[in-house]
Structure 1
Amino acid sequence: MPRFIIEREIEGAENLTIDQLAEIASTSNKAVASLGVPYTWVTSYVAGDKIYCVHETEDVETIVEHARRGGFPCNLVAVVTNEFGPHTANERSA
């Protein structure tokens, strides 16, 4: 299933409390359940005034619909085309 990075601009995101993050997570889970299509919220990262989310679903339109149902901003959506990390240094083609 395609993986997407979603950028959400939320003023003061870095100051959200664990209770506020839990409420956002609950709202997101409800939005996911209401979609009726395969959809996985993998994880999210808070950085300054932005939240970066990693989600898996079939298309960008479903990402946007999830944001609409959850009342979340959806400032940028990008499909992940490749993934790499430190382990990749040892995986060279012949």
Structure 2
Amino acid sequence: MITYLVQREIEGVGLSGRPGLELSAARSVEALARMAPRVTWCHTWIGADFLLSLYRADAVGDVIEHARRAGLPDGRISRVLAELPGAETSWLTSLDATGTSRG
């Protein structure tokens, strides 16, 4: 599976309070259940006007389809090529020549 980072601009999403976020999350989880195992949700960070989410999927089309089914904007979708662990100083050694993680 491929890891994707999705940034969705949604005005006031982080300021809307728990009920609005719970409704979005419920729609997302329902869509994910129907699409399993092609796409899984890993984590989401919430800002005042955006959601930043990490997904693992077979293809970018699965991430787009999840957004459509959940009633969420596609947003900006980027493939994650590597992870830089914050506590390690030699992160460059974890990359191979293609720019993908070896760990």
Inter-CA distance 16–90: structure 2 relative to 1 (3 Å threshold): same
Q: State the SS of the aligned residue for 1:88.
A: coil
**Higher RCO structure (Cα 8 Å, ≥6 apart):** 1
Name the structure 2 match of 1:18.
18
Cα offset, 1:59, TM superposition: 0.7
Cα offset, 1:90, TM superposition: 4.2
- TM-score, with structure 1 as normaliser: 0.87
Inter-CA distance 47–90: structure 2 relative to 1 (3 Å threshold): same
Number of equivalences: 93
Name the structure 2 match of 1:88.
88
- TM-score, with structure 2 as normaliser: 0.80
Q: CA RMSD in A?
A: 1.6
What is the CA–CA distance in structure 1 between the aligned matches of 2:70 and 2:79, rounded to whole Å?
Answer: 20
Amino acid at match of 1:6: V
Once the two structures are superposed, residues 22-63 of structure 1 have per-residue CA deviations (whole angstroms, 9 ceiling, x without a partner) of: 111111010011124332111111123111111111111000
Greater helix proportion: 1
Inter-CA distance 85–71: structure 2 relative to 1 (3 Å threshold): same
Q: Which runs of 5+ in 1 are unaligned?
A: none
Q: Which portions of structure 1, spanning 4 or more consecutive aligned residues, are displaced by more than 3 angstroms?
A: 90-93
